Amino acid sequence: MLIATTNTVYRLIEDRPEICFEDASIQAIATDGCRHAVVSRSGLTVIAETETITAEVPTSDVIEAVAVLDDGSILLGTEGPHIYQWNGDVVSGNGAFDALECREDFYTPWGGPAAVRSFAHTADGSVYADIHVGSIMRSSDRGQSWKPVTPDLHEDVHQVVTHGPQPDAVFANTANGVYISEDRGNSWSHRSEGLPYRYGRAIAVHPEDGACLLATVSRGPHARVDGRLYRSDDQGRSWNHVTDGFPAETPSNIDTFQIAFSNDGRAWAPVDRNLFVSEDRGNTWTTYWQAPDPVKMIAN
């Protein structure tokens, strides 16, 4: 698992955080367990056991998301929005994504450029890119072609994830709570019963049990938002507020990329400099580590 602050990326090695990358501005991180992808002002850095590769990213756009696909290629999502792809040599633009006719409908509430906010993917080549704001785009061929999912979920998506054992399942947290698809985005169910607020940011799925979910919600995007962590054991049909060992409320949002399950089933979530861990599927929590700086994102 990777843990990132603004200028340092740590890797859990024998259950200890150890520095694996330092740069002035960490923008995005991802890992498949063997390769770690870090995007910073220096470009893309791919860290493996035997080598470290760097590649220039041919854009000045802000990079918000990165994904290491099953074939070893890496996708980068930017403001614009655009997608770039690394196939072991250079980083190049994804023309199929730029050719989407629905791009003209992408927007942000403040009038700036929309962005690819997160990626999710499956071992058989499906890739999902959530557009902030513009719903979710999907590819069945590792990003070679793209089309929108069926637009019956809220278009303001903040994170999309998939579940390895159930490749048909797609999970999204949006500005109107959690939506789940059981057919790769062809249809969606709104699963927000029991959530006191509908403004969602992050979502995570247990690696072995697709019914066990974590999601964060709050009052909204600004000021005192009362960020909260919730969990579900029935694929989002009901939700319970997490308070045992974890802050009942946080002054800011628990953001995209700030909750995760590691492959051993432990749950993780940072609040400021404190990284919390749960050994029991997100029911009870303890402080695992206090980082030197606020933890911005985690990846597994």
For the stretch 265-300, pLDDT in tens is 999 999 999 999 999 999 999 999 999 999 999 999
Q: Look at residue 187 and tell me whether its pLDDT is greater than 80.
A: yes
Mean pLDDT, rounded, of the chain: 96
What torsion do the CA atoms of 277, 223, 177, 63 make, to the nearest 10 degrees?
-70
Cα angle for residues 204, 205, 208 (degrees, 5° grid): 150
Measured CA to CA, the distance from residue 11 to residue 1 in angstroms comes to: 6
d(C-alpha 197, C-alpha 218), whole Å: 6
Who contacts 13 (Cβ-Cβ below 8 Å, separation ≥6)?
Answer: none
Q: Are 67 and 75 in contact (CB under 8 A)?
A: yes
- pLDDT value at residue 125: 97
Tell me how crowded residue 178 is: count the other CB atoms within 10 A of its CB.
27
Which tokens sit at 64? 């918000």
Look at residue 112 in the predicted model and tell me its pLDDT: 94
130-144 per-position pLDDT tens digit: 999 999 999 999 999
Closest CA to 17 of 26, 30, 4, 27: 4
Of 66, 155, 140, 46, residue with least CA distance to 96 = 140
Topology (CATH level 3) of domain 62-81+93-290? Methylamine Dehydrogenase; Chain H (2.130.10)
Scanning the structure block, which residue is given the tokens 């995209």? Answer: 256
Q: Which tokens is 109 given? A: 């509430």
Q: What is the pLDDT of residue 7?
A: 96
For the chain, the structural domain boundaries read 62-81+93-290
